[in-house]
DNA sequence: TTAATTCACGATAAACTCGGTAGACTTATT
DNA sequence: AATAAGTCTACCGAGTTTATCGTGAATTAA
């Protein structure tokens, strides 16, 4: 599950990304449009500003605005900034690598090997997706791809019943 | 991050799966071999028994033993049994589907669409992996596949720095 | 039949995370 | 000066995670 915080953050970025260039919204306005509680959103937008995604102006006519090109912001990067390390095992994270205390030998650890493969393929995918993909008009996108979206919008029809 | 519980559960299944057919281990023995705290492991093995993976015998010479073919137990199935729903959004889970309260229209929800694609590809992968893959001799497996394992054992060399 | 062994099960608890609230402060505009 | 905005630090309640403990129930050996 992605956290509420992540959800709010992505929705906020989408809201701000949909604006005309140069426009800004106050926390209050972002809160209304994204559905996030205002005081909670404060923290989130502040984080996003510190992470370099948003700019802020104070005082009258102030607010937050997107300062990075949506097509240049990968989803992987975003998820890491918002939620912290996303590796399934600490020993698979580069930035925040930690040894597994209970692990004798990383080279032969089967868990590490298998989850490493999973993680690798996951990373590859989310790095290839961007904020732009979240902003895309779904109808237009569907047309461009011959409408595969509808068929894949739901979870796979229950390989294992999740 | 996978939880400690998941880690212990998978290690236990690997331990029991490596045994000759029909052999059993007590909680105590599984605890020693897997590194899981004994009293915690009790609950985990009990869950795995109730989920149909393990059998148990009480009294002298009792213990737990694997009752399912490792090659028939998908990793996806396992992770769901141990950790519960794994969908990134409640509206993407079939078994435990819940509507997102803040969502007006699932059909046009961009978050749902994008995370649906991610989840779909993730599910496909973990459904294709089995307990057998966790039991496989890494050296032999490496030979069989022309040793791609070593190169992919570590996280991708930092697409985004995770 | 009794004692030893082993799993079964519910209660409890410490530590941590998540989602959110509150108050005071700083900066900018009018 | 008044007002409107973002900034910062602290805190809090609920739930989850990671266990531990005590006791009961089944099985078997002596």
Q: What is the reported pLDDT for B22?
A: 87
Interface subset of B 40-69, CB within 8 angstroms of A: none
What is the C-alpha to C-alpha distance for residues A79 and A70, in angstroms, rounded to an integer?
Answer: 14
Beta strands in chain B (DSSP E): 54-57, 63-66
Positions 77-96 of A with beta carbon below 7 A from strand C are 83
Q: What is the reported pLDDT for B136?
A: 87
Does the CB of B133 have a partner CB in chain A at under 8 Å?
yes
Q: What is the reported pLDDT for B138?
A: 63
Residues 6+ apart with CB under 8 A from B134: A110, A111, A114, B10, B13, B14, B17, B70, B75
Residue of B nearest to A159 (CA): B127
**Tally of CB atoms within 10 A around A132:** 15
pLDDT digit string (tens) for B71-86? Answer: 999 999 999 999 999 9
pLDDT digit string (tens) for A1-35? Answer: 999 999 999 999 999 999 999 899 999 999 999 99
Return the bridge partners of A49, or none.
none
Class of domain B4-70+131-149: mainly alpha
Asked whether strand D has any atom less than 7 Å from the CB of A62, the reply is: yes
Closest residue to B118, CB basis, from A125, A149, A160: A125
Segment among A141-145, B75-79, B81-85, B131-135 with least mean pLDDT: A141-145
Return the bridge partners of B130, or none.
B74
Tokens read off for A27: 């926390």
| Nearest-nucleotide field for B3 (CA, C1') | D17
Q: Closest approach of chain B CAs to the CA of A88, in angstroms?
A: 4
Nearest to A162 by CA among A154, B63, B52: A154
pLDDT digit string (tens) for B10-53? Answer: 999 999 999 999 899 999 999 999 999 999 999 999 999 999 99
Q: What is the band of A140 on the pLDDT scale with cuts at 50, 70, 90?
A: low
Averaged pLDDT, B101-118: 94
Q: What is the band of A104 on the pLDDT scale with cuts at 50, 70, 90?
A: confident
Q: What is the band of B101 on the pLDDT scale with cuts at 50, 70, 90?
A: confident
What is the C-alpha to C-alpha distance for residues A31 and B155, in angstroms, rounded to an integer?
Answer: 37
Q: What is the reported pLDDT for A32?
A: 97
Q: Which residue is nearest to nucleotide D9 (CA to C1')?
A: A43
On whether the CB atoms of residues B126 and B75 are closer than 8 A, the answer is yes
Tokens read off for A62: 């102030």
Q: Kindly list the residues from chain A whose CB atom is less than 8 angstroms away from the CB atom of residue B70.
A: none
Average pLDDT, chain A: 88
Nearest to B131 by CA among B68, B74, B80: B74
Q: What is the reported pLDDT for B92?
A: 97
Positions 11-30 of A with beta carbon below 7 A from strand D are 25-28
Q: Closest approach of chain A CAs to the CA of B81, in angstroms?
A: 10
Asked whether strand D has any atom less than 7 Å from the CB of B35, the reply is: no
Which sequence spans correspond to the domains of chain B? 4-70+131-149, 85-128
Q: Kindly list the residues from chain A whose CB atom is less than 8 angstroms away from the CB atom of residue B4.
A: none
Q: What is the band of A138 on the pLDDT scale with cuts at 50, 70, 90?
A: low
Return the bridge partners of B72, or none.
none
Higher pLDDT pick, A151 / A73: A73
Whether pLDDT at A44 is above 50: yes
Higher pLDDT pick, B61 / B138: B61
Higher pLDDT pick, B139 / A45: A45
């Amino acid at each position: 599950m992605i956290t509420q915080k992540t959800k709010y953050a992505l929705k906020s970025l989408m809201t701000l990304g949909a604006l005309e260039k140069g426009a800004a919204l106050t926390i209050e306005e972002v809160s209304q449009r994204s559905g996030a509680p205002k005081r909670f959103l404060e923290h989130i937008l502040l984080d996003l500003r510190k992470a370099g995604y948003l700019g802020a102006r104070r005082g009258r006519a102030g607010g937050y605005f997107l300062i990075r090109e949506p097509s240049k912001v990968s989803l992987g990067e975003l998820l890491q900034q918002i939620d912290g390390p996303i590796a399934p095992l600490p020993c698979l994270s580069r930035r925040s690598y930690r040894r597994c205390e209970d692990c004798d030998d990383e080279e032969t650890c089967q868990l590490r090997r298998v989850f490493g493969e999973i993680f690798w393929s996951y990373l590859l995918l989310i790095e290839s997706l961007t904020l732009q993909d979240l902003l895309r008009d779904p109808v237009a996108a569907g047309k461009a791809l011959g409408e595969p979206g509808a068929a894949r919008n739901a979870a796979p029809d229950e390989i294992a019943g999740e």
